[in-house]
Structure 1
Amino acid sequence: MSAIIERPKIRACLFDMDGLLINSEEIYTEVTNSVLKDHGKPMLPWSIKADLQGRPGTESAARFLAWSQLPYSPEELYGIFGERLKKRWHTTAPMPGAVELLTKLKGNKVPIALATSSYRGNYLLKTAHLGHMFGLFSEANTVLGDDARIPKGKGKPEPDIWLVALATLNANLPDHMEPIKPQECLVFEDGIPGVMGAKKAGCQVVWVPDPNILNVFEDKKDEIVGEWGEILPSLDAFDFAKYGL
């Protein structure tokens, strides 16, 4: 019988954005289905949606095209989506419990960083009207999908974006403090690729999936989050005491 390894104490929290902090994944789904409808195609299945979540834009477009067989290149499709999405990003809203969670972590002096696959242009459009929430992240601790520190082809589900986000926190620690280790980070994610990347980075994970995606992956949910993972229905269900926060 193998010994139970105790979880390291959490010293920092890292956050995805789309679908976790804001309802932008709903908007992505609506726009995707509008493009499919234009071509007489069925709506996007949740199993395919789960594979696209959190990936860099052109990679997500390439995977979508492999399934949908629409007559575009990934770059063309990304442009079509971009034009339709641009008209919707001003409507994004915080997900339940998101502002409260971030505010409490800041009040408790827990270091936080944002790690989103959204490129800077889209990030600004999605968040310009949500300064009360995204102002809680410093610019130095906001890592975007087109950050030069993330090698090309190394977006989620690779660990790079999470490790870069952690590095931004360690860069600002007082000299007397030990650097924060990946296993001392709690990653909050709604997408399976992001969860995979966080696990590869060695972090602990809180997975907050869309209920439709959780239904599709019900039989694999424990495997997805791993030994040091937890599944929550929403961010307002997070238990601070459980993690000593």
Structure 2
Amino acid sequence: MSGPAPKSDFPPIRACLFDMDGLLLDSEDKYTICTNTVLQKYGRPPLPWSIKAQLQGRPGPAASKILHEWAQLPVSQEVFYAETKDLQKIHFPDSKPLPGVEKLLGDLATAKVKGEKAGKVHIALATSSHEANFKLKTSHLEELFTVFSSDRRVLGDDQRIAEGRGKPSPDIYLLALQTINSSLEPGEEEIRPEECLVFEDSVPGVEAGRRAGMRVIWCPHPELRKEYTGKEEEVLAGRTGSGGEVDMHLVGEIKDGWGEHLDSLMDFPYAKYGILVQG
């Protein structure tokens, strides 16, 4: 028996919500370098992508717990975290935009919504990075991040996100949408979740977007993509189980049309999402 036909009558996208690490910046590779340096120090093998896939997108404490349980290091989680953090202070300031990111953000800064709700496309950031790490990764890229106004940047240590409700829970993306809706121009109609497009590289992040009732672009690292060969549709539906059994009624269905996989953010298909780019 075949499932329901994919939805095709989506409204135009009015808001684009972005993850950061591994999606906008190559900072995920910096995490790997720092982690592997400490693992090697204690005679442990490099971090495999099967484990890294579980870490991506999650808040620091949750990721650290998963990593430490796998690594079985002869030092405490706190020592490992401290040593890794010292290395991150060296490597994070070298973070660079990934291919297509500068053009995509530049285009969206002046883009319009197609159709009866024609207006500007709104943009917000929703990253699990805490403020200190965010500054390390972005202080040298201030011009790139000007598209995200300060009130539309939701970071991992935002007090409005309840403890334990980081990605893959939907809270961070719902909050990002809230920051947009609370600052719309007079007369602008409130943006609904189905009018939002989430950009993610991680599997927990895709699940967070789907649980928020939003459409999702999954643009993973090539090595992460290999880890999920044959399971792409489960990822796009948010049904990989990375969030456990909580809120499973909020995830999507296989091939329901709400998610799309892209190899990179270059040549983004704006028209498909009802986005009109200037020029």
Q: CA deviation at 1:4?
A: 4.7
In 2, Cα distance between equivalents of 1:19 and 1:31: 15
For 1:234, the equivalent position in structure 2 comes to: 264
Per-residue CA shift, 1:172-231, capped at 9, x if unaligned?
112322211111100000011111111100110000001111111011111111231111
Q: CA deviation at 1:35?
A: 1.1
- Partner-residue secondary structure (3-state), 2:133: helix
Does residue 204 (structure 1) correspond to residue 215 (structure 2)? The answer is yes
Per-residue CA shift, 1:44-79, capped at 9, x if unaligned?
111111110011111101000111111344333322
Q: Which is worse superposed, 31-40 or 68-77?
A: 68-77
Contact 2:42–2:74 (CA<8 Å) still a contact in 1? no
Does residue 71 (structure 1) correspond to residue 74 (structure 2)? The answer is yes
In 2, Cα distance between equivalents of 1:34 and 1:113: 33
In 2, Cα distance between equivalents of 1:134 and 1:122: 15
Does residue 127 (structure 1) correspond to residue 138 (structure 2)? The answer is yes
User: Against the structure 1 CA distance between its residues 37 and 3, is the aligned structure 2 distance closer, same or farther, given a 3 Å change threshold?
Assistant: closer
- Partner-residue secondary structure (3-state), 1:218: coil
Does residue 47 (structure 1) correspond to residue 50 (structure 2)? The answer is yes
Which of residues 29, 45, 60 in structure 2 aligns to 1:57? 60
For 2:129, the equivalent position in structure 1 comes to: 118
Q: For 1:165, give the aligned amino acid.
A: A
In 2, Cα distance between equivalents of 1:220 and 1:237: 25
In 2, Cα distance between equivalents of 1:86 and 1:160: 28
- Partner-residue secondary structure (3-state), 1:87: helix
5+ long unaligned stretches in structure 2? 112-119, 238-255
Q: CA deviation at 1:38?
A: 0.9
Q: CA deviation at 1:244?
A: 1.3
Among all aligned residue pairs of Structure 1 and Structure 2, give the percentage whose two residues are the same amino acid. 49
For 1:217, the equivalent position in structure 2 comes to: 228
Contact 2:38–2:80 (CA<8 Å) still a contact in 1? no
Aligned pair count reads 245
Q: CA deviation at 1:143?
A: 0.6
Per-residue CA shift, 1:132-175, capped at 9, x if unaligned?
21111100001100001100111111101001100000011123
For 2:91, the equivalent position in structure 1 comes to: 88
Q: For 2:268, give the aligned amino acid.
A: F
Does residue 185 (structure 1) correspond to residue 196 (structure 2)? The answer is yes
In 1, Cα distance between equivalents of 2:33 and 2:58: 18
In 2, Cα distance between equivalents of 1:243 and 1:134: 23
| Greater percentage in helix | 1
Contact 2:13–2:274 (CA<8 Å) still a contact in 1? yes
Contact 2:53–2:224 (CA<8 Å) still a contact in 1? yes
Contact 1:58–1:75 (CA<8 Å) still a contact in 2? no
Q: Aligned runs of 1:8-47 on 2, under 5 Å?
A: 8-47=11-50
- Partner-residue secondary structure (3-state), 1:149: coil
- Partner-residue secondary structure (3-state), 1:236: coil
Contact 2:194–2:213 (CA<8 Å) still a contact in 1? yes
5+ long unaligned stretches in structure 1? none
Contact 1:58–1:78 (CA<8 Å) still a contact in 2? no
In 2, Cα distance between equivalents of 1:144 and 1:79: 21
- State the TM-score, normalizing by the size of structure 2: 0.85
